[in-house]
Chains A and B, each alone.
Chain A
Amino acid sequence: MPFPDVKLANRPLHFLYLCDCSGSMAASGKMQALNQAIRQSLPGMAAVARDNPEARVLVRAVRFADHAAWHIETPTPVDQLEWRDLQAGGITAMGEALKLVAAALQTPPMEVRALPPVLVLISDGQPTDDFAAGLEALLRVPWAQKAVRLAIALGHDADLEVLQRFIGTEPATAGRSPRRPLQASNATSLAQYIQWASTAVVGAASMPASRVSETPLEPAVGNIPLPDLPPTVLDPTDDVGPLVW
């Protein structure tokens, strides 16, 4: 006889991309690279979601250029997600994007109980609006304070200081250097970071991974110990010379 058809209790895990779609993203194929990286990462993300039955992984995305707007507004299960390409053009309303996300992380619409949300901010430039006001609005929301916040800097023009403020300054803990924005200087490294955020980090936020003694059991500030970054896998196509932003 079959095991009773009972469902495991689960909690939502909200994963939000905040994507810079300013005009500069059109240069050197950055916009296409980001679209590709996210699209390619979805099967791996779906696999992680399947392996973590205690989490219900739901994805959303915000794009920002002259204004910020929802690219995917409905929290969507990964396996149902279709990534429509983002288009570049305009300036960099990053502060507005943070305000949009801040509103979405209020309860309601946020559930009363959830896993820590994951916010991934991707940018290649400087905010052109009031970033500080946006960040302040975001960090007033308890779910944003609890969120795992990651930032990916595309190319050399990205404003690392702004991105650092978004992820927060965490003092260096034993054996771990302080967290910094991830710097993607070409399409390959961007794809690796997106893959890491959408798989390893989602895994860590939804179900704890095995712990080794060096990982502090009580994390200093971050409420989820972040997994190791992917090793730099030497790309056999590197010889061709990657596109460097």
Chain B
Amino acid sequence: MSWILPEGASLGFEGLAAPLRIVRGLGGGTQGQVYEVDLEGERLALKWYLPACIARDGGLERRLIASIRATAPNEDFLWPIALLRASPASRPLIRIRDESFGYLMPLRPPAYVGACEHAAGRLAIGLRQVLRACFGLADAFHSLHLAGLCYKDVSLGNLFLEPDSGGILICDNDNVAVDGADHGAVLGTPGFMAPEVLLGQARPGADSDLFSLAVLLFRLLTRHDPLKGQMELAIRCLDEPARRRLCGEDPVFIFDPVDDRNRPDPIEHAAALITWPIYPRPLQALFEQTFCRGMKQPSRRALTGQWKQELARTLDRRAFCPACGQENFQASGGPALCWSCGAPLPEPTTLLLPHGSVVAAPDNELHAHHFDALAGEDLRRPLARVVAHPQDPRRLGLRNLSTVAWSAETPDGRVQAVQPGESCSLAALTRIQSPAGPIAVQRPTRPSPAA
């Protein structure tokens, strides 16, 4: 890589009191190059644009200034902090002739890796973490859309994942604009673009973001593309005109309940066929809504709030197969079979809450939204977590993660305090009173075969 900014040098920038040290180049893309920089001991990232990119996108500087003023919708965005132009003294150190600028943003911590690592199957990540990442993505776009903004260039390349937690970070926020207001230059990334944008019938905005968001969620959940089925196999050379047909002119969802022209191929598209049944019906229905009716009618696409709700509910249903140990997320009711080994899944112990219910399985969590109908789904601050007993993992407890004591009631009416940080055994309890609200323990009506 030929770096435009000199690695190791300290450069002065207009409006920055202290010089920035260019620590090293991190990567380059179509728009510019990204560097790790040091500002008075703080590590940040600097994106420096190529003059061709600035020339092509007249609104770039204006959008960046507006974003910097507006601040990030939530902490999952690597949001622009300051717009930088080289000071006259540093100008000659920049190795391109044309005038250019860049912006500072937070540096991605090393634990976060590009989402394409997951797409490629090279990342050790759990189903729960993938679902949490999907929730984080829906939540980030929810905040962005509620702020009246749209992102425009959703793609795998702009998303980072932390495999241990399912945390996410979104980069490349320089196309963000007020929905419908600014005609920025970017249209999106083919494969993620809504058909109406790909065909040039609409400009990218919040509605096309909803399409791209659904594509990204689908790709994270299935490691497959929602439009690549038989119709993709019929294409010999997958070039631009072919992609335009597949994703714009005649797009068909591979799991469209009515139109079966584009079903996955059992060998070529095995990933989709294996992973799709993992997810509960209501979550699948949001994909159908977006990729069937919403394909041609942008206003019918699933909204960020719907994704948040269904993804949070899916996580609440997480249970382990007693036969193979795999995670399952099936909706309650009817007899369910493990997606992985086919064994019947026993009816689980469930925590009944004022707004929803959570299966008692290790690491499942209770949140404020389980108690308060007005609280939006938020997974950041759990109030309680299901834990396995250190000696006997089959004995489950509930740990108090809040700052206030609970009172736990046993079937014979005794009451016991559960201090913050302590866990109580679910087997011995019928009900817990927490300041957030009551937690009722519902045991299976018919005993599970394992018990």
A-side residues, CB < 8 A to B, are: 1-9, 11, 44, 50-53, 112-116, 142-143, 146, 192, 195, 200, 207-214, 217-219, 223-225, 227-228, 230-236
In the bound complex, how far is the Cα of B225 from the Cα of A74, in angstroms?
Answer: 30
In the bound complex, how far is the Cα of B189 from the Cα of A217, in angstroms?
Answer: 11
Pairs of residues from A and B, 8 with the lowest C-beta to C-beta distance, nearest first: A53-B120, A208-B190, A6-B271, A223-B239, A233-B2, A212-B185, A234-B95, A211-B187
Binds A, one of B39-47, B50-58, B381-389, B407-415: B50-58
Q: Which residues of B contact A236 (CB under 8 A)?
A: 6, 95
In the bound complex, how far is the Cα of B167 from the Cα of A157, in angstroms?
Answer: 56
> Which residue of A is nearest B96, CB measured?
A231
The answer to whether B237 and A232 touch across the interface, beta carbons within 8 angstroms, is: no
The answer to whether B237 and A6 touch across the interface, beta carbons within 8 angstroms, is: no
Is B124's beta carbon under 8 Å from chain A? Answer: yes
Is B326's beta carbon under 8 Å from chain A? Answer: yes
The answer to whether B271 and A7 touch across the interface, beta carbons within 8 angstroms, is: yes
B-side residues, CB < 8 A to A, are: 1-4, 6, 29-30, 50-53, 56-57, 95-97, 114, 116, 118-121, 124-128, 130, 153, 155, 157, 183, 185-191, 193, 198-200, 223-225, 228, 233, 235-241, 243-244, 268-271, 274-275, 278, 320, 325-327, 340
Q: Which residues of B contact A207 (CB under 8 A)?
A: 191
The answer to whether A6 and B187 touch across the interface, beta carbons within 8 angstroms, is: no
Tell me how far the C-beta of B55 lies from the nearest C-beta in chain A, rounded to whole angstroms. Answer: 10
The secondary-structure label for the interface of chain B is loop
Q: Which residues of B contact A234 (CB under 8 A)?
A: 95-97
The answer to whether A217 and B244 touch across the interface, beta carbons within 8 angstroms, is: yes
> Which residue of B is nearest A175, CB measured?
B56
In the bound complex, how far is the Cα of B235 from the Cα of A146, in angstroms?
Answer: 13
A232-B119 in contact given A218-B240, A225-B240 (Cβ < 8 Å): no
A9-B228 in contact given A3-B126, A114-B236, A210-B186 (Cβ < 8 Å): yes
Choice from B6, B186, B235, B268 contacting A9 with Cβ under 8 Å: B268
The answer to whether A112 and B236 touch across the interface, beta carbons within 8 angstroms, is: yes
Q: Which residues of A contact B186 (CB under 8 A)?
A: 210-213
Q: Which residues of B contact A51 (CB under 8 A)?
A: 114, 116, 157
